[in-house]
Structure 1
Amino acid sequence: MNISPELRKRVDNKIAELDSMAGMLPCIACIHNRDLELEYLSPLGQKQLGHTLEQLKAMGHDYHHLFFETEEADFVPKVVALLKSKDVSQRVSYFQRVKFYHENEWVWHATTSQILMQDDDGEVLLFITFSVPIDPKHHLTSKVTRLLEENIFLRKNYGKFAALGRREKEVLQLIATGKSNQEVAGELFISAATVETHRRNIKQKLDAGSLFDLMEYARAFDLV
């Protein structure tokens, strides 16, 4: 972030304020500047990522791609919209996946971001983010994770699903419940051969190779 030395000092003082109490926070605290560059990460966050703040800052924007699932994330547009709004009272909440140090699996986090500091002209300088990992041992975690993953699947594949016609969606719905071509034909008053044609076209449009793939579409788009 290219700012004057005087403004840089004010930014550093603001970050120091948070750092002085970061150890008392029951969450991970993170500060980015308006260019989405990392300025601060609380000790808990550094421990989970297995790197010091200096090491993480040296990574530049690669930091985001190494530790966060950015390809499937919807939080980036939300944060960008927050910064454009310049509204310090506005908050955005979202879920994001983070990869901890020496861990192979992504960990879901509940996260909230808010503008932390502006310059004298009202331009955003810093925004702060608080994140809490979702406890994998909680009995609701598996359900929450499934819903979040279905939402990711829905956003990635909406275009494919939208290409299906009304009749194809009806056939998909019945197939996903385990009905045979004959049973689907009986319910829709069409021939089994027509059902097979619909099934073939559906699999081609959705790039689905198995019944499981079809069922995943049906669940994500509320057909079953």
Structure 2
Amino acid sequence: MVHELANNLPSGVSYMNNWGCERLGTDAETINTMGIDYYQKFFVAEEVRQNMMGIAHYLRQNDPGKQYNFFQRVRLTDDGDYHWFYTVCRLAAFEEQAENQKLIILSSPVEGIDDMISIVSKVLDEHTFIKNNYRIFAELTKREKEIITLIAQGHSSRDIAQQLFVSVHTINTHRKNIIRKTNCTTFAALMKFALAFDLV
């Protein structure tokens, strides 16, 4: 694609190939007349604002030897949903005149990025959980950690008592202390805690 520039920002598309037009469900003539409405129609508004800031910073450097890259979601007409694209921008001069500078943009679909984002988000969530609960984990006794493991594995208090050669009353006391220390009042919460700290 070739984008026109105004005040160091893209101001519309002056050329798009057939592949791009087909994906967007439109034609080159329509794209050419849309101006800045093009950016609102096919892209996520918040991402447009962020990407425009990045492009503006790139354009202020006025260095055709550099390029600016980013991910963005594009609404395609085949299903009406947004799809991730990897986009590369590069400044180009036509007729060697500054006023004829344009922005060349190449975009390529990225498959599987939603899964990747989900995985990264999960890792970040786990990191935050561990960071927020590490002191609690450190304050647990060796026996309490052992009991958390057995509870997470589905053992009852009676089973745990038999395995550890102690009374059921002792195990129940440990369970109360574990709940008090970790604030895990449900099995699901305790399982999350156990998984985060490799107790299962």
> Normalised by the size of structure 1, how large is the TM-score?
0.50
Aligned match for 2:36, one of 61, 64, 86 = 61
Aligned match for 2:5, one of 34, 37, 55 = 34
In structure 2, the CA distance between the partners of 1:145 and 1:106, relative to structure 1 (3 Å rule), is farther
Instruction: Tell me the SS of whatever aligns to 2:65.
Output: coil
Instruction: Tell me the SS of whatever aligns to 1:107.
Output: strand
By how many angstroms is 1:119 displaced? 6.5
Q: Which one has a bigger Cα radius of gyration?
A: 2
Map 1:119-158 → 2, pairs under 5 A = 122=98, 125-136=101-112, 141-146=113-118, 150=121
Deviation digits for residues 56-83 of structure 1 (CA, Å, limit 9, x no counterpart): 2222211111101131353221111111
1:86–1:123: 8 Å Cα contact kept in structure 2? no
Map 1:35-50 → 2, pairs under 5 A = 35=6, 36=10, 37-50=12-25
Query: Are residues 1:94 and 2:70 paired?
Result: yes
In structure 2, the CA distance between the partners of 1:102 and 1:91, relative to structure 1 (3 Å rule), is same
Distance 1:116 1:100 in 2: 27
1:34–1:83: 8 Å Cα contact kept in structure 2? no
Instruction: Tell me the SS of whatever aligns to 2:21.
Output: helix
Deviation digits for residues 104-159 of structure 1 (CA, Å, limit 9, x no counterpart): 321000111000116656456201011110135xxxx44334368x5xxx9xxxxx
Structure 2 unaligned runs (5+)? Answer: 125-130, 137-176, 193-200
Q: Give the aligned partner of residue 20 of structure 1.
A: none
Runs of 4+ in structure 1 off by over 6 angstroms are none
* Aligned residue pairs, count: 144
Q: Give the aligned partner of residue 163 of structure 2.
A: none
What is the identity, as a one-letter code, of the residue corresponding to 1:130?
L
By how many angstroms is 1:99 displaced? 0.5
In structure 2, the CA distance between the partners of 1:96 and 1:129, relative to structure 1 (3 Å rule), is same
2:3–2:15: 8 Å Cα contact kept in structure 1? yes
1:75–1:94: 8 Å Cα contact kept in structure 2? yes
Q: Give the aligned partner of residue 170 of structure 1.
A: 132
Structure 1 unaligned runs (5+)? Answer: 1-29, 155-168, 175-181, 196-210, 216-224
In structure 2, the CA distance between the partners of 1:183 and 1:57, relative to structure 1 (3 Å rule), is farther
Q: Give the aligned partner of residue 186 of structure 1.
A: 181
What is the identity, as a one-letter code, of the residue corresponding to 2:132?
E
Query: Are residues 1:84 and 2:80 paired?
Result: no
Distance 1:53 1:147 in 2: 38
Q: Which has the higher helix share?
A: 2
Distance 1:147 1:83 in 2: 34
Instruction: Tell me the SS of whatever aligns to 2:181.
Output: helix
1:90–1:114: 8 Å Cα contact kept in structure 2? yes
CA RMSD of aligned residues (A): 4.2
